[in-house]
Amino acid sequence: MTTFETTLCTGCRTCELACSYHHTGVFQPSKSSIEITGSPKEGFKLVLFEAPHDNRAACDGCRGLEEPLCIRFCPAVARSELQEYIGGPLESHPV
């Protein structure tokens, strides 16, 4: 897994919802390949699971979709940062 510090993330965890839906067809963040940790005070971190972990599926970059769902549903104000992180590691870790 890779942990990214964020500056734009609002901590809404919408990406977790979108990701879990992609893998399971159900909204279930505990199965998401992304976890948002931290708080408004300390700041938010984005943890990306590139390999299966506990119940979590590995990120597959939403293969087959035009755009990863996490990015599509990320609030516009934070999207560029998520784009940068999700776009980066996946290219270097093909699944």
Partner 1 sequence: MTTRDLCGYAGTILRMDLATSRTSLEPTERYARSWLGGSGLAQWMLYNEVKPGVDSLGPANKLIIGTGPLNGTLAPGASRVTADAKGPLTGGVGSSNSDGHFSAELKFAGYDSLVFEGRAEKPVYFWLHDSHVELKDASHLWGKTTWETDDLIREELRDERVQVMCIGPAGEHLARGACIIVNKGRACGRCGLGAVMGSKNLKAIAVRGTGGVKIADPKRFMKAAEQARKAFEGESESVRTRYGTPFMTRNKQEMSGIPYKNFQYLDLPGDAFSRLNNAIEIWQQQYRTRIVGYPACPRPCDRYFRINRGSYAGLECLGVQFEALADFAGKLAVDDPDFIIEVNAYCNQLGLDIDSAAGAIGWAMECYEKGILSERDTDGLSLHWGDTNVILELTRKIASREGFGNILAEGCARAARLLGRESEYFALHVKGQDLYEVIRSAIGWGLGVCVATRGGGHTTGAPAMETSAKVSPDVAEKIYGVRSLTDPLASEGKAKLVGYFETLHRVNNALGVCHSITHWSSPSYPGLPELAELYSAATGWETTEEDLKRLATRMLHVEKAFNILHAGFSRKDDYPPRRCLEEPIPRGAAAGFALTEGMWDRLLDEYYEMHGWDVRTGVPARATLEALGLRSIAEDLDRAAR
Write out the residues near partner 1 by the rule CB under 8 A. Answer: 7-14, 17-18, 20-21, 24-31, 37-41, 43-44, 55, 72-73, 75-79
Closest CA to 76 of 4, 12, 2, 5: 12
Q: Which is nearer to partner 1, 86 or 89 (CB)?
A: 86
In whole angstroms, the minimum distance from the beta carbon of 4 to partner 1 comes to 15
Cα–Cα distance measured from residue 8 to residue 37, given in angstroms and rounded to the nearest whole number: 14
User: Going by C-beta distance under 8 Å and a sequence separation of 6 or more, which residues neighbour residue 84?
Assistant: none
Query: Amino acid identity of 35?
Result: E
In whole angstroms, the minimum distance from the beta carbon of 92 to partner 1 comes to 28
In whole angstroms, the minimum distance from the beta carbon of 81 to partner 1 comes to 11
Tokens representing residue 93 in the block: 């870790």
Q: Which is nearer to partner 1, 11 or 89 (CB)?
A: 11
